[in-house]
């Protein structure tokens, strides 16, 4: 595995883009980065990734490294200069340009889009610029994937809009979040209409050049682009060149190309306020909500979900030739970016591991609560922690006054902790949303501020997590003068203190770097967690172990891993799903279905839900295990017999294996369940095409 390192320290190196080592990282960080090299090599080998570049910037320091190959055929190494397709990481850049035009008085966020794009047809309801920024405009996404995601010809802005301009709205604007590149194409047309410049020209002059993003350009197959990376896809177990797709049809939603240092420069430029005012930045990172009062966890061009109680903004990208991820922690002046040249892999794992290397903090504490009646208490603590501490990182301004804060505590005590478990779950689900009064944010922000005033360093909760956060506030409130601080119901306080004590004794137990014997690991973990109420959740690690073992043909090891998951985490839907999938792989369909039904009972929208099982099937297909993916879809259809999309996926898998009759039947079943599902038109066309093939094959 080849790698190329580039260290940038100071503004001069960043602006010039010169690979140099003006100084070295601190010894402790350098050692962790060296270990990171080995982890990346293992991960790339496991996922068959040809080339990848990853890096971070914090303050004036920057580190970027390329791994593997930007071009396999010519053995061109991936470096810091490698130019990847950005895909949807383009969207926050487009959003920044819109907000610049708002500051200049050239765009009104609440004006109908036709104000700036007069050729866009008027719909049943007005669609505003603000709604487009938050994917709330009712604009649909791809309807005919086989055509719309495979354009070969270069398109102008007008031609790109024409692709979807006749689509009806899928909902009244503001009513439904629908992630869509077409909405961001409209925003690119808004930029052109308001500025009088082409999208690429405006971005170059007002966003990319001011931030020193010299390698960022509009992707163009005819242009000579320095350090252009070649893209790849897995077909079965074999690496193939990516299909050629001209992405000009996604120009302002995903039509750009850049290096990882340029991605980092954009993230740094945003949180440093180089191209937007503080007011615009605040609006940009504020999560939007539907008219029904549900947060979308998306602001203006950024995903805005708190991460481990941290204030974070992010955006991922995926399209032919590439996957990308840009993650920024504005309060910490830390930005991390990754780009790879293999389709359909998850780049977030590289961001998470590099974050842990740079900060020394776990990305996300994974805590298992071993008692069913205490899980609700943990969910409340987690909601308070995620919302409250993230808000404290973002601002020192109070979120709500004393009266609203006390009312939030009253609601939590009276509803989240009520005897009626179903009603309590409904309240907890709504508690972070505007429709639920944002009670987790109101109470959690107050808790964080009170702890800070008492001299607590809130950074300690990166390792202590929600239980330590809630416990410390409870202890603080118990020791304060009567009624000076809002209190929780006594049963909750006692349970949290007990859970936190258990967590204190188990949190340091780590998953071994290289578990040699699953059976030895089984004994150690069972002994360590016996009798504990809270302990680390290693289900993701057990999933990786089971999947890796299965891929190597080590069925006994895979079954042992899934059995340990269920033994240690019997309340986890993910553990039971793992067992079901492992049994399915071993050919035990009856027991597999039983395990999946247990998982579904634990969480109907969790790991055994239709979306998750569909994703697992495509993961297997991407690794070359098409027959195993088909078995997963068959089990998913048995579990979710009314889901049209699962039938559609099953039809696709059948067709790929040459099982045309079964494919036609599955497409027909999909249409029977929902004649108007998103793939209905393509399904009807496939039925005709596959039926003709089947007829021609008859003797």
Sequence ranges of the chain with CATH classification 1.25.40.10: 612-699
Return the CATH number of the domain spanning residue range 85-359.
3.40.710.10
| Cβ within 8 Å of residue 86, ≥6 positions away | 216, 254, 256, 257, 258, 263, 317, 322, 324, 339
Long-range pairs of 600-609 with CB within 8 A, sequence gap ≥ 24: 600/573, 600/639, 602/571, 602/572, 602/573, 602/576, 603/573, 606/573, 606/574, 606/577, 607/573, 607/574, 607/577, 607/578, 608/573, 608/576, 608/577, 608/580, 608/639, 609/640
Alpha-carbon torsion angle 534, 535, 536, 539, nearest 10: -80
Question: Encoding tokens for residue 402?
Answer: 């004393």
pLDDT beyond 70 at 13: no
Main-chain dihedrals φ then ψ at residue 201, nearest 5 degrees: -65, -45
Please tell me which residue, 547 or 456, carries the higher pLDDT value.
456
- Position 418 scores a pLDDT of 85
Is residue 357 within 8 A of residue 32, CB to CB? The reply is yes
**Hey, what CATH topology would domain 612-699 get?**
1.25.40
Question: Encoding tokens for residue 355?
Answer: 């974050």
Interval 403-429 mean pLDDT: 93
pLDDT beyond 50 at 468: yes
Query: What is the rounded CA–CA span in Å between residue 77 and residue 53?
Result: 10
pLDDT digits (tens, 9 = 90+) for 158-180: 999 999 999 999 999 999 999 99
pLDDT digits (tens, 9 = 90+) for 268-310: 999 999 999 999 999 999 999 999 999 999 999 999 999 999 9
Give the per-residue SS3 of 219-246.
CCCCCCCCCECCCEEEECCEEEECCCCC
Is residue 244 within 8 A of residue 64, CB to CB? The reply is no
- Position 2 scores a pLDDT of 53
Query: What is the rounded CA–CA span in Å between residue 578 and residue 542?
Result: 9
Is residue 341 within 8 A of residue 50, CB to CB? The reply is yes
| Cβ within 8 Å of residue 444, ≥6 positions away | 383, 384, 385, 386, 387, 388, 389, 391
Give exposure, 35-53, as e/b (b: 16+ Cβ within 10 Å).
ebeeebeebbeebbbbbbb
pLDDT digits (tens, 9 = 90+) for 39-49: 999 899 988 99
**Residue 301: which of 276, 322, 332 has the closest Cα?**
276
Query: What is the rounded CA–CA span in Å between residue 278 and residue 268?
Result: 14
Is residue 498 within 8 A of residue 467, CB to CB? The reply is no
pLDDT digits (tens, 9 = 90+) for 99-143: 999 999 999 999 999 999 999 999 999 999 999 999 999 999 988
Interval 63-72 mean pLDDT: 98
Among 241-250, 335-344, 614-623, where is mean pLDDT lowest? 614-623
**Residue 59: which of 271, 262, 210, 354 has the closest Cα?**
271
Query: What is the rounded CA–CA span in Å between residue 227 and residue 229?
Result: 6
Beta bridge partners of 53: 66, 339
pLDDT digits (tens, 9 = 90+) for 608-650: 999 999 999 988 887 778 999 999 999 999 999 999 999 999 9
- Position 391 scores a pLDDT of 97
Question: Encoding tokens for residue 318?
Answer: 């995926």
Sequence ranges of the chain with CATH classification 3.40.710.10: 85-359
Q: What are the Cα distances from residue 421, in Å, to 407, 438, 510?
A: 21, 20, 33
- Alpha helices by DSSP H, listed for 482-517, are 490-506
Beta bridge partners of 256: 218
Alpha-carbon torsion angle 433, 437, 441, 447, nearest 10: -150
| CA neighbours closer than 13 Å in the CB half-sphere of residue 556 | 3
Query: What is the rounded CA–CA span in Å between residue 67 and residue 382?
Result: 37
Is residue 263 within 8 A of residue 251, CB to CB? The reply is no
| Cβ within 8 Å of residue 686, ≥6 positions away | 651, 655, 663, 664, 667
Question: How many other C-beta atoms can be found within 10 angstroms of the C-beta atom of residue 33?
Answer: 18
Q: What are the Cα distances from residue 498, in Å, to 476, 501, 533, 638?
A: 16, 5, 8, 42
Query: What is the rounded CA–CA span in Å between residue 626 and residue 614?
Result: 13
515: pLDDT confidence band, cut at 50, 70 and 90?
A: low
Burial of 320 (0-12, 13-18, 19+ CB in 10 A): middle
Helix (H, G, I), strand (E, B) or coil at 625: coil
Please tell me which residue, 396 or 125, carries the higher pLDDT value.
125
Give the per-residue SS3 of 373-420.
HHHHHHHHHHHHHHHHHHHHHHCCCCCCCHHHHHHHHHHHHHHHCCCC
- Position 623 scores a pLDDT of 73
212: pLDDT confidence band, cut at 50, 70 and 90?
A: very high
**Residue 330: which of 268, 397, 278, 286 has the closest Cα?**
268
Helix (H, G, I), strand (E, B) or coil at 527: helix
**Residue 392: which of 345, 476, 475, 456 has the closest Cα?**
456
Among 12-16, 231-235, 679-683, where is mean pLDDT lowest? 12-16
24: pLDDT confidence band, cut at 50, 70 and 90?
A: low
The DSSP string of 603-619 is -TTSTTSHHHHHHHHHH
Helix (H, G, I), strand (E, B) or coil at 70: strand
Question: Encoding tokens for residue 687?
Answer: 């039925």
pLDDT digits (tens, 9 = 90+) for 503-512: 999 999 998 8
**Residue 310: which of 397, 399, 432, 393 has the closest Cα?**
393
Query: What is the rounded CA–CA span in Å between residue 354 and residue 39?
Result: 10
pLDDT digits (tens, 9 = 90+) for 303-335: 999 999 999 999 999 999 999 999 999 999 999
| CA neighbours closer than 13 Å in the CB half-sphere of residue 293 | 10
- Position 620 scores a pLDDT of 87
pLDDT digits (tens, 9 = 90+) for 539-581: 999 998 998 888 888 999 999 999 999 999 999 999 999 999 9
Helix (H, G, I), strand (E, B) or coil at 342: strand
> Tokens 């929208």 identify what position?
605
pLDDT digits (tens, 9 = 90+) for 431-453: 999 999 999 999 999 999 999 99
């Amino acid at each position: 595995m080849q790698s190329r390192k580039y260290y940038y320290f100071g503004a001069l190196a960043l602006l010039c883009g010169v690979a140099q080592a003006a100084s070295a990282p601190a010894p402790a960080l350098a050692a962790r980065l060296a270990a990171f090299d080995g982890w990346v090599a293992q991960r790339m080998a496991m996922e068959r990734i040809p080339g990848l570049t990853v890096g971070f910037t914090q303050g004036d320091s920057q580190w970027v490294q390329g791994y593997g190959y930007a071009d396999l055929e010519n053995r061109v190494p991936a470096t810091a200069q490698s130019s990847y397709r950005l895909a949807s990481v383009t969207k926050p850049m487009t959003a920044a340009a819109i907000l610049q035009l708002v500051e200049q008085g050239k765009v009104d966020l609440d004006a109908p889009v036709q104000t700036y794009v007069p050729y866009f047809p008027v719909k049943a309801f007005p669609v505003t610029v603000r709604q487009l920024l938050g994917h709330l405009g009712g604009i649909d996404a791809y309807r005919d994937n086989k055509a719309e995601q495979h354009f070969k010809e270069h398109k102008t802005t007008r031609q790109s809009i024409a692709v979807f301009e006749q689509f009806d709205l899928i909902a009244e604007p503001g009513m439904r979040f629908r992630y869509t590149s077409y909405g961001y194409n409209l925003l690119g047309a808004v930029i052109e209409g308001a500025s009088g410049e082409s999208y690429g020209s405006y971005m170059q002059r007002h966003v990319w050049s001011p931030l020193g993003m010299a390698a960022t350009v509009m992707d163009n197959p005819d242009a000579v682009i320095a350090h252009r990376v070649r893209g790849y896809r897995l077909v079965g177990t074999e690496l193939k060149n990516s299909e050629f797709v001209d992405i000009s049809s996604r120009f302002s939603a995903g039509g750009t190309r850049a290096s990882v240092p340029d991605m980092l420069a954009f993230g740094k430029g945003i949180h440093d306020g180089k191209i937007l005012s503080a007011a615009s930045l605040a609006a940009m990172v504020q999560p939007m909500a539907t008219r029904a009062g549900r947060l979308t966890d998306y602001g203006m061009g950024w995903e805005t979900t708190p991460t481990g109680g941290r204030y974070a903004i992010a955006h991922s990208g995926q399209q032919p030739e590439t996957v990308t991820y840009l993650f920024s922690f504005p309060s910490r002046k830390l930005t991390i970016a990754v780009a790879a040249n293999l389709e359909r892999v998850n780049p977030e794992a590289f961001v998470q591991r590099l974050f842990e290397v740079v900060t020394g903090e776990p990305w996300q504490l994974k805590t298992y609560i071993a008692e069913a009646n205490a899980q609700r208490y943990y969910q409340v603590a987690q909601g308070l922690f995620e919302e409250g501490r993230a808000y404290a990182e973002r601002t020192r301004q109070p979120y709500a006054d004393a009266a609203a804060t006390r009312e939030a505590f009253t609601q939590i005590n009276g509803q989240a902790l009520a005897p009626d478990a179903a009603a309590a779950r409904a309240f907890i689900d709504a508690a972070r949303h505007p429709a639920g009064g944002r009670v987790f944010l109101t109470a959690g922000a107050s808790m964080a501020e009170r702890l800070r005033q008492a001299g607590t360093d809130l950074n300690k909760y990166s390792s202590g997590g929600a239980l330590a956060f809630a416990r410390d506030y409870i202890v603080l409130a118990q020791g304060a003068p009567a009624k000076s601080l809002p209190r929780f119901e006594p049963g909750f306080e006692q349970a949290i203190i007990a859970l936190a004590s258990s967590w204190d004794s188990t949190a340091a137990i780590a998953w071994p770097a290289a578990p040699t014997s699953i059976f030895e690991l089984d004994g150690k973990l069972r002994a360590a967690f016996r009798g504990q109420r809270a302990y680390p959740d290693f289900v993701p690690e057990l999933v990786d172990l089971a999947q890796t073992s299965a891929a190597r043909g080590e069925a006994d090891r895979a079954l042992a891993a899934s059995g340990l998951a269920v033994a240690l985490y019997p309340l986890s839907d993910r553990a039971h799903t793992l067992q079901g999938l492992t049994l399915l792989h071993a050919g035990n369909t009856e027991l597999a279905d039983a395990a999946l039904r247990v998982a579904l009972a634990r969480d109907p929208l969790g790991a055994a839900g239709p979306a998750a099982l569909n994703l697992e099937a495509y993961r297997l297909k991407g690794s070359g295990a098409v027959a195993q993916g088909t078995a997963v879809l068959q089990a998913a259809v048995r579990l979710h017999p009314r889901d049209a999309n699962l039938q559609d996926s099953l039809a696709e898998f059948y067709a790929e294996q040459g099982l045309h009759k079964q494919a036609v039947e599955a497409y027909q079943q999909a249409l029977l369940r929902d004649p108007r599902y998103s793939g209905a038109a393509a399904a009807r066309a496939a039925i005709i095409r596959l039926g003709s093939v089947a007829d021609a094959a008859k003797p």
